[in-house]
Structure 1
Amino acid sequence: MDTRPTNPNATDAAWSASGALVQTLIENWESQIVSDPRIRLSRTVLASNDIHSSLLNRTAQISDPHVFNHVIDFKTSPRTDQKSSGRCWLFATTNVLRYQVMTKLNISEFELSQSYLFFWDKLHKANYYLELAIENAEKPLDDRLIYFLSDTANLSRDGGQWDMVVNILEQYGVVPKNIYPESYSSSYSRPLNELLQTKLREHAMILRELYTSLKADNPNREVSLTTVRARKEELMKEVYTIITATLGVPPPANEKFVYDYYDKDNKSIKWVGTPVEFYRNVASGDYPPSDSFSVINDPRNEYGKLYTVEKLGNVWGGRPVLYVNTEINTLKNTVVELIKAGIPVFFGCHVEKHSSSTLGIMDLNLFDYETAFNIKFGLTKKQRLESRDSDMTHAMVICGVHIDLDTGKPVRYKVENSWGDTSGDKGWFMMTDDWFSEYVYQIVVPKALAPKDLVKVYEDGNPTVLAAWDPMGALA
């Protein structure tokens, strides 16, 4: 309802009381602000320059060296580059796994095929969406869940979560990058995603209409589902055609391939086996991905509990996305123990906040917003989640930590990103401990090395189900 005064001669006070902005109010703001020399300087500088480069805090930059006293050191392995795609979770996963491969095969440079995992995830996500369309065919199209699932931000996304990549790994394994290399559409995925989104919406409408007509003739839902799924298989052939044309046909999971490589002694070696065998015998190491789980810090919800997100997944009938929620210091302490044990850590965060991709620094004090705008940020981590100001948008790997020798507490963390070697310090990033507190939401931990109380929560099951649109459903 519009509560503004209808009288065109109404006073500014009346308009202001209605909630509308009035000229006298704006003039009052201007008279107060223009007297502040900091604001005058900001207006001079920022109108013609980038905000972040202009407000870079030199003191913070100097105090954030890329120096760490506990490091998992694979300096010769190349930094990976996801390019213009949202595959950070797959890059983070393969960056974790390749540490095991390089040790097992005694090699100094190696990269797994992210595109191989990307292919199978894309195919299964399409099937997952169509199954959800069938499952919810009786809901109206303007139902919030239906709208959410079909929204461009959610349909056929590149992103994912740890349990989702485990689903792919367990079924299809993994291969070296030269066995299934990058394609244009894996590196620049937007055109492929837009095409798939249009076709999948069309497919969902076809299946909904078919289900409705069948149900009208026969109220037995199982009879209808059998017929609708047969039609879905025909439609999925179109999806498969699109994906194989743009990404390439991947090697079958249980057919052998040959991997020729040089070890550190420059000796030529041949490995022969299937993608599943390469995953289980070479890439998994002492702590298979299937035996690891996600630990999160979500201050909105009770700690010491298990959570999942409604309708979140990629493989229909596969492993669900599960999180054990706990205090932030538990995440930090666990990371330190894992790094000391030589285990790189997959983690989820909101990387865009208070960070510089050029410098490779994540620091709450990196930009001096307070001086430039006379503002302070007052939202807590809980409030940022509640207001959707922050969520898990990016996955990377922690592979080092700097411990203060006096306090024994972590000061900063060494992070392996997937934005190539031109960002950060030759691809490496530095994350302060305070930044970790505010913007890290998830780490992945092998059960054998996790706090026992968290393992018990995970294994006891019975998770609390969060809504499909909950921030914990964000995909890295």
Structure 2
Amino acid sequence: MDSRGTLTDEVLEGFRKMFYSQEKNVLARNVCSRTDPFDAAQSSDILDEMQPVFNHKVEPEGKPMTDQRGTGLCWLFSGLNLMRLPFMKEYNLEEFEFSQAHLVFWHKIEASNTFLYNMVKTAQNKEPLDGRLMTFLLRKPISDGGFWHILANLVNKHGLMPKKNFSEYYNSSYTSKMNDVLGSMLRQYAKAIRDLVAKGGCDEDIDNLIQDQMSNIYRVVGICLGIPSETFTWSYYDKDKAFKSIGPVTPKEFYEKHVKPFFNVDDKVCLVSDPRPTFEFGKLFTMDYINDVVGAKNCIFNNQPVELLLDLTAKSIKEGEAVLSSCELSRKYSSWRHGMHLKT
């Protein structure tokens, strides 16, 4: 057996002695073993400079502050926050939230259905079960992740509801257990689909199988989240304490008549900055297996230099329109100060 690269006792003892030879390592261990190492590494002097005061500010501010809690639904929460600003201004509202749980429900339904039809596609393409693609798809059949286009597709198909008409429950705020159950079901269903395709099942047989599978998925999601009402009436007081009421309307009618005139999801584009040589700036690109709504628009990304993204973001804010952005900031973010400083 090749012993090259083995961590021998002598090598490990050398690491240990080197660690304890520097007092700063012991100090850092005492601190970081008791708290978040990123927070511990941030400069308090620099963090003290953080103030929520800006040269330009989008009005009105969205209130109340929203909280995605134990989910990975940042894209959904931030997207709905973006949409509520012009809506609140138009309807003269002090506070307002769209129902996140409403779209969480439909995202789980649509994403599950998309996964099952992806299993049909991969089976018909004879993708090997132990290949990279199938390993990737089966590792996490359903998750909370998403993009702007997925939110837009969900809104266009299923509409919007005020949060007062479909509230948060435990499983919409902490989705991991529900996702685990759905993931286990979807893996079992994937095998049944592959078996049927291998036997030469026709499209009708496959569609009928998936419809039966989706009825079980719908039941589980409905039990976990509740099922959004087909129609609702939204009653509210505006800033002038005047009573108003809209409805009964369907969620889709609510979006089409009362939100879309002030915020049309189809008017927005998704700019990204991917500097890899295989992705040219100034070009559009997409990816396979990332859309979560069968039959809806595909996710299209417009690749541009990061400098352009920063410039357009500043211009949008100066003109009073908020921007949805997604970036890696974990090392710059202070969880206990609830802010970010680029110098940290």
* TM-score (norm: length of structure 2): 0.92
Contact 1:260 1:268 in 2 (8 A): yes
Distance 2:316 2:304 in 1: 17
- Amino acid aligned to 2:253: E
After superposition, the Cα gap between the structure-2 partners of 1:48 and 1:185, relative to the gap in structure 1 and judged at 3 Å, is closer
Of residues 119, 123, 140, the one that matches 1:133 is: 119
Q: How does 1:190-205 map to 2 (within 5 A)?
A: 190-205=176-191
Distance 1:345 1:243 in 2: 31
1:289 aligned to 2:277? no
2:309 match: 331
- More displaced stretch, 69-78 vs 23-32: 23-32
1:329 Cα offset (Å): 0.9
> 236, 246, 268: which is aligned to 1:271?
246
Counterpart in 2 of 1:208? 194
Q: Matched residue of 1:121: which SS?
A: helix
| Corresponding residue of 2:211 | 233
> Could you tell which deviates more after superposition, 274-283 or 180-189?
274-283
Structure 1 residue 26 displacement after superposition:
4.2
**Counterpart position of 2:88:** 102
Q: Measured at CA, do residues 304 and 30 of structure 1 come closer, stay the same or move farther in structure 2, by a change above 3 Å?
A: same
Give CA deviations for 1:364-415 in whole Å, capped at 9, x if unaligned: 443xxxxxxxxxxxxxxxxxxxxxxxxxxxxxxxxxxxxxxxxxxxxxxxxx
The Cα of 1:270 is off from its aligned counterpart by 0.9
- How far 1:59 sits from its partner (Å)? 2.1
Distance in 1 separating the partners of 2:224 and 2:334:
33
Q: 1:285/1:343 Cα in 2 relative to 1: closer, same or farther (>3 Å)? A: farther
Q: What is the Cα deviation at residue 84 of structure 1?
A: 1.4
Query: Of the candidates 115, 118, 142, which is equivalent to residue 130 of structure 2?
Result: 142
- Alpha carbons 1:354, 1:363 under 8 Å: kept: yes
Matched residue of 1:85: which SS? coil
- Summarize the alignment of residues 177-192 of structure 1 with structure 2, pairs less than 5 Å apart: 177-192=163-178
Segments of 5+ residues of structure 1 without an aligned counterpart are: 5-17, 216-223, 367-476
Matched residue, 1:313: 291
Alignment counterpart, residue 232 of structure 2, candidates 240, 245, 257: 257
Summarize the Cα distance change of 1:240–1:42 in structure 2 as closer, same or farther, 3 Å threshold.
closer
2:148 maps to which of 157, 162, 171: 162
Give the distance between the partners of 1:72 and 1:56, measured in 2 at CA. 29
- Please give the residue correspondences for 1:330-369 in structure 2 after superposition, counting only pairs within 5 Å: 330-366=308-344
What is the CA distance between 1:274 and its match in structure 2? 2.7
Q: In the aligned structure 1, how far is the partner of 2:19 from the partner of 2:134?
A: 47
1:77 offset after TM fit, Å? Answer: 1.3
Residues 87 and 158, structure 1, Cα contact 8 Å, conserved in 2 = yes
Q: Which stretches of structure 1, 4 residues or more, deviate above 6 A after TM superposition? A: none
- Residue among 109, 112, 116 paired with 2:102: 116
Using the TM superposition, name which of 188-197 and 273-282 deviates more: 273-282
Determine the C-alpha separation between the residues in 2 that align with 1:199 and 1:104. Answer: 44
Cα 1:131–1:365 change in 2 (3 A) is same
Given that residues 104 and 282 in structure 1 are in contact (C-alpha distance below 8 angstroms), is that contact kept between their aligned partners in structure 2? no
Q: Which moved more, 1:329-338 or 1:47-56?
A: 47-56
Count of equivalent residues: 339
Structure 2 gap segments, 5+ residues each = none
Q: Secondary structure at the match of 2:163?
A: coil
CA contact (8 A) 1:85 1:189 kept: yes
Q: Give the AA of the match of 1:310.
A: D
Deviation at 1:146, TM superposition (A): 1.2
RMSD of the alignment, in Å? 2.0
Structure 1 residues 316 and 47 mapped into 2: Cα distance closer, same or farther (>3 Å)? closer
Q: Cα offset for 1:25? A: 3.8
Give the superposition deviation at 1:32: 5.1
**1:3 aligns to 2:2 (yes or no):** yes
Question: Do the aligned partners of residues 186 and 308 (structure 1) sit closer, same or farther apart at CA in structure 2, a change above 3 Å counting?
Answer: same
**CA distance, structure 2, for counterparts of residue 214 and residue 44 of structure 1:** 63
Correspondence list, 1:386-425, <5 A = none
Matched with 1:411 is none
2:200 partner SS: helix
CA drift of 1:35 comes to: 4.6
Letter in 1 for 2:156: E
Overall identity of the aligned pairs, in %:
30
The SS at the match of 1:349 is coil
